[in-house]
Amino acid sequence: AKDPVRVLVTGAAGQIGYALVPMIARGTMLGPDQPVILHMLDIPPAVESLNGVKMELIDAAFPLLKGAVATTDVVEACKGVNIAIMVGGFPRKEGMERKDVMSKNVSIYKSQASALEEYAAKDVKVLVVANPANTNALILKEFAPSIPEKNITCLTRLDHNRALGQISERLDVPVSKVKNVIIWGNHSSTQYPDVSHAVVETEHGEQPVAKLVADDAWLHGEFISVVQQRGAAIIKARKLSSALSAASSACDHIRDWVLGTPKGTWVSMGVYSDGSYDVPPGLIYSYPVTCENGEWSIVQGLSVDEFSRGKLVATADELVEEKAMAYSCFSS
Ligand code: NAX
């Protein structure tokens, strides 16, 4: 039998945490033969609720779950973890300036970065979910210099999956037949959902999405804004933000990273930019990636037309600005 993998979930008493921990315990993230030990971190005001989640995990009697740690101590939470899913953070409340939210998240991510650096497994893989996800991941990278930058990522898989879902609905084909959409840039409303290279598997082989949809106005307009604004639409409908889809996409992100992407398929991940596609280096930017042997690589050589170029630049500009804002909070 395999040794258990230790998975940290921060913000585990929250909405996404509540949807995510049972998926991990059931094997959705790491596979049906991989035992896990869950480390769940939250803050003191949420401690009772956190302990309630742990009680429910015990009650669910998941065969793969070999242990569950529920704690408000960041050191205990980070000790020996192989995978860290950072869902906890400071949400933007009505009337708050972006700068104030950034400064709260800088202090949270700074201290959690240090704890991961000191106590997590040396090859820990980190996924930041909490917003602003790309910039929180960048802060974490800055304050955990001994964690390889390749091991620090942020979640844009939910946006990727939303794009697959919209194409599937529009063409009335199973979502499993649609692949190779791309989310470029920031997990925010400036993200660019791109179907230029997306295809549908049909009985006549792979067909380009653009050809099947045959409506450039929709693909360049409504499709993009629906994906960009989907989070807001969920809040309007549910009076709560996305949780089950966020949790499921976080599992997809880690599973593909650890176990690999299927041949001929790429996914979107927020990763440390190296200048690929003329994006400024040193940002956490969402790119198309393939994964093999536990490592992602950016898909190279895709054509970028003028329309797409403008969108790639706009979302990069926003990330440059967020980065400057975050750095201006470092000293305080
Ligand atoms: P909740 O407010 O339900 O849960 C957040 C939890 O984090 C709370 O239990 C809170 O006590 C805890 N927390 C706060 N500060 C903490 C700290 N310093 N250490 C540990 N835990 C801490 O929010 P939820 O709906 O679960 O969303 C969590 C985060 O995901 C938010 O930042 C949200 O904006 C972000 N999202 C990101 C998405 C993505 O695709 N990247 C999509 C979904 C979601 O909106």
pLDDT digits (tens, 9 = 90+) for 235-275: 999 999 999 999 999 999 999 999 999 999 999 999 999 99
120 labelled ligand-binding: no
Q: Is 43 left (phi over 0), alpha (psi -120 to 50) or beta?
A: beta
Which member of 39, 160, 187, 253 is catalytic? Answer: 187
Task: Please say whether the dihedral angle defined by the alpha carbons of residues 57, 47, 68 and 34, taken in this order, is positive or negative.
Answer: positive
Q: What is the pTM of this model?
A: 0.98
Q: What is the pLDDT of residues 96-122, one digit of tens each?
A: 888 888 999 999 999 999 999 999 999
134 Cβ closer than 6 Å to some ligand 1 atom: no
Q: Is 85 in the pocket of ligand 1 (CB under 6 A)?
A: no
Is the bond preceding 132 in cis, omega lying within 30 degrees of 0? yes
Q: State the maximum Cα–Cα separation within the chain, in Å, rounded to a whole number.
A: 60
Verify whether residue 160 is a known catalytic residue.
no
Number of H helices, E strands in the chain: 12, 14
Rounded distance from Cα 244 to ligand 1 centre (Å): 13
Residue 273 Cα to ligand 1 middle (Å):
25
Indicate if ligand 1 lies below 6 Å from the C-beta of 243: yes
Calculate mean pLDDT across residues 308-326: 97
Ligand 1 centroid, distance to 209 Cα (angstroms): 34
- pLDDT in the model for residue 330: 86
Is pLDDT above 80 for 5? yes
Residue 331 has pLDDT above 80, yes or no: no
Minimal-distance CA residue to ligand 1 atom 9: 14
Atom in ligand 1 nearest the alpha carbon of residue 129: 41
Continuous segment of H or E residues that includes residue 295? strand 295-298
Alpha-carbon gap, residue 289 to 260, rounded angstroms = 10
Q: Is position 61 annotated in a ligand binding site?
A: no
Question: Could you tell me the pLDDT band of residue 332, with boundaries at 50, 70 and 90?
Answer: low
C-beta of 47 in contact with ligand 1 (< 6 A): no
Per-residue model confidence (pLDDT) at position 261: 98
- pLDDT tens for each residue of 136-195: 999 999 999 999 999 999 999 999 999 999 999 999 999 999 999 999 999 999 999 999
Three-state secondary structure call for residue 153: strand
- Give ∠ CA 49-73-323 in degrees, rounded to 5: 95
- For 28-32, 37-41, 99-103, 198-202, which range has the lowest pLDDT when averaged over its residues? 99-103
pLDDT tens profile 188-233? 999 999 999 999 999 999 999 999 999 999 999 999 999 999 999 9
User: What is the C-alpha to C-alpha distance for residues 194 and 304, in angstroms, rounded to an integer?
Assistant: 10
For the residues 72-91, what does the mean pLDDT come to?
96
Residue nearest to atom 10 of ligand 1 (CA): 11
Query: Which of 32, 120, 242, 14 shows the shortest CA–CA distance to 23?
Result: 32
Check pocket membership of 43 for ligand 1, CB cut-off 6 A.
yes
3-state SS, 262-273, equals: CCCCCEEEEEEC
Give the Å distances, CA to CA, from 95 to 88, 98, 99, 100, 135: 21, 9, 12, 10, 21
- Phi and psi at 330, nearest 5°, equal -60, -40
Task: Give yes or no for residue 213 CB within 6 A of ligand 1.
Answer: no
288: pLDDT strictly greater than 80: yes
- ipTM surpassing 0.90: yes
Contact call for residues 49 and 58 (beta carbons, < 8 A):
no
Strand partners, 108: none
Q: What is the mean pLDDT of residues 5-26?
A: 98
Whether 133 is in the pocket of ligand 1, judged by its Cβ within 6 Å, is: yes
Atom of ligand 1 nearest to the CA of 49: 9
Mean pLDDT score across all residues of the chain? 97
Pocket test for ligand 1, best of 18, 40, 87 (most atoms within 8 A of CB): 87
| pLDDT number for residue 260 | 98
| pLDDT of res. 95 | 81
Give the pLDDT confidence of 47-71 residue by residue, as tens digits. Answer: 999 999 999 999 999 999 999 999 9
Please report, as a single letter, which amino acid is at residue 153.
Answer: T
Q: What is the DSSP string of 36-102?
A: EEEEEE--GGGHHHHHHHHHHHHHHT-TTEEEEEEES-HHHHHTT-SEEEE----PPPTT--HHHHH
